Amino acid sequence: MRSTLINGTAGRFVSSPEGTALAYGSLLFMALLPIFFGALRSVGCSKSKNASDMPETITSRDAARFPIIASCTLFGLYLFFKIFSQEYINLLLSMYFFVLGILALSHTMSPFMCRVFPANLPNKQYQLLFTQGSGESKEEIVNYEFDTKDLICLGISSVVGVWYILCHWIANNLFGLAFALNGVELLHLNNVSTGCILLGGLFVYDVFWVFGTNVMVTVAKSFEAPIKLVFPQDLLEKGLDASNFAMLGLGDILFCHFFLSFTLSLKKNTRTYFYTSFLAYIFGLGLTIFVMHTFKHAQPALLYLVPACVGFPVLLALFKGELTEMFR
């Protein structure tokens, strides 16, 4: 998952200060939505007694390996774009993310649909069952149960999917937010030390691939997939047909969320650590935008987010005399 913040103004239309402020403010707002609500939902899932709702736990070994895997994936994509036609690669990726986006958006909409679904409408139950063999040797391959509300969510998501295939940035953001919300809901850290290992490794990963090479920026600008949030800086001038985008990788949301959601699950009477980390994230991302706008160069957002998201709650724990307890 790429992690960088890019300004697409180089050599093109120069946006107005109002348009630039609107773009950066919208990216910040969209980044905060899945972090806040995803953290709340992930803690709810972790307390669930249903094993299927339990989030996957990231161990320290997973955290140490992740930056290496991410680097190999990023460089592999870079080579693909250098060797093969960008048009055909993005066509294949569009179809792949078309299916994944519909499923992710349907899952995201499901809790909301349960609240607004009219009580007087019948909610019929359905089952999709695939088996292999016959008699005593029959084996279930797929056994999926769903209802009318799920079908409505799937229908709405399919409309967004068609919109995404037509290459509209709003549909890209809807899918991107759905991916981010599902990611922050379904993955969880097992302790603070694991979060520090993960973010520390990704800190080096992000800085190296953005400042040390042109790999990150090249892939970010070539990769047409909803793994980044985008917002046009020329929206005020060109409306929905705007094309001069600032973008934020979903990695900047997901990776810091893991630490934030863990601070929310710390067994304290208050959510002081979570709110501290949440404000630290706003500060870090705001600082990233400020530096990028000042120097007119793509910035590794984790360069600013990691020290803020880890440093602020650690300093708070040190001030309260709870540092040892936090890491334990």
Which sequence positions are flagged as catalytic? 206, 252
For tokens 């972790």, the residue is: 46
**Tokens at 145, concatenated:** 């149960």
pLDDT tens-digit readout, 5-17: 665 544 455 677 8
pLDDT confidence bin for 234, thresholds 50/70/90: confident
Average pLDDT, integer, range 205-212: 88
Tell me which DSSP letter residue 50 carries.
Answer: -
Question: For 58-76, what is the mean pLDDT?
Answer: 89
DSSP assigned state of 208: I
Select, from the ranges 293-297, 311-315, 321-325, the one with the highest average predicted confidence (pLDDT). 311-315
Please determine, for residue 187, whether its predicted confidence score (pLDDT) is greater than 80: no
β partners of residue 232: 245
The b/e string for 246-263 (b: 16+ C-beta within 10 A; e otherwise) is bbbbbbbbbbbbbbbbbb
Query: Per-residue pLDDT for 43 more than 50?
Result: yes
In this predicted structure, the answer to whether residue 51 has a pLDDT above a threshold of 80 is no
Q: What is the 3-state secondary structure (H, E, C) of 157-189?
A: HHHHHHHHHCCCHHHHHHHHHHHHHHHHHHEEE
For the stretch 103-158, pLDDT in tens is 999 988 888 888 887 777 788 888 888 888 777 777 877 777 888 888 899 999 99
Higher confidence at residue 53 or residue 56? Answer: 56
CA distance 227 to 260: 20
What pLDDT score does 204 carry? 92
Sorted by sequence, the CB contacts under 8 Å of residue 249 that are 6+ apart come out as 1, 2, 3, 4, 5, 220, 227, 228, 301
pLDDT above 60: residue 53: no
Question: How would residue 323 be classed by pLDDT, with cut points 50, 70 and 90?
Answer: confident
Query: Measured in Å, how far apart are the chain's first and last C-alpha atoms?
Result: 29
Q: Which two tokens stand for residue 275?
A: 């709110």
- Ordered alpha helix ranges (H), the chain: 17-46, 60-83, 86-116, 148-165, 169-186, 192-207, 215-222, 235-238, 251-265, 272-295, 302-320, 323-327
- Whole-angstrom distance, CA of residue 158 vs CA of residue 68: 35
Residues 6+ apart with CB under 8 A from 245: 8, 23, 169, 230, 231, 232, 233
| Per-residue tokens: 264 | 């929310």
As a whole number of angstroms, the distance between CA 151 and CA 106 comes to 9
Whose structure tokens read 């520090």?
Answer: 196
